[in-house]
Structure 1
Amino acid sequence: MSDGELSRLELLLFARRVVVQQAEASLRQLDGWIAQEERREAERRYAEEHRPEPPEWLVQYGLNRRNVDAVHCGDCWAAEQSDRCQPVPREAAVDALRQGVPACIHCRPDTALGFFE
Structure 2
Amino acid sequence: MNDPAPATRLDMLRFARRVVEQQAVRQLALIDRWIADEERLAESQRRAVERRPPPPEWVVQRGGVHVGSCWAVTKGSWRSVAATREQALDALRNGVPPCEACRPDRELGFLE
TM-score (norm 1): 0.80
CA-CA distance at 1:93 after TM superposition: 1.1
Equivalent pairs: percent with the same residue?
52
Inter-CA distance 60–5: structure 2 relative to 1 (3 Å threshold) = farther
Unaligned runs of 5+ in 1: 62-68
User: Match for 1:54: what amino acid?
Assistant: P
Aligned to 1:64: none
Query: Superposition pairs for residues 4-43 of structure 1, below 5 Å?
Result: 6-8=6-8, 9-43=10-44
1:76, distance to aligned residue in structure 2 (A): 0.6
| Structure 1 residue 81, shift from structure 2 partner | 6.2
Cα distance in structure 1, aligned partners of 2:5 and 2:74: 73
Match of 2:51 in 1: 50
Q: 1:6/1:57 Cα in 2 relative to 1: closer, same or farther (>3 Å)?
A: farther
- Distance between the aligned counterparts of 1:85 and 1:7, measured in 2? 78
Amino acid of the residue matched to residue 80 of structure 2?
C
Q: 98, 103, 108: which one pairs with 1:103?
A: 98
3-state DSSP of counterpart to 2:73: helix
Q: Which residue of 1 aligns with 2:72?
A: 78
Cα RMSD after superposing both structures = 2.0
Deviations, residues 37-67 of structure 1 (Å, cap 9, x unaligned): 1112212222222221000111112xxxxxx
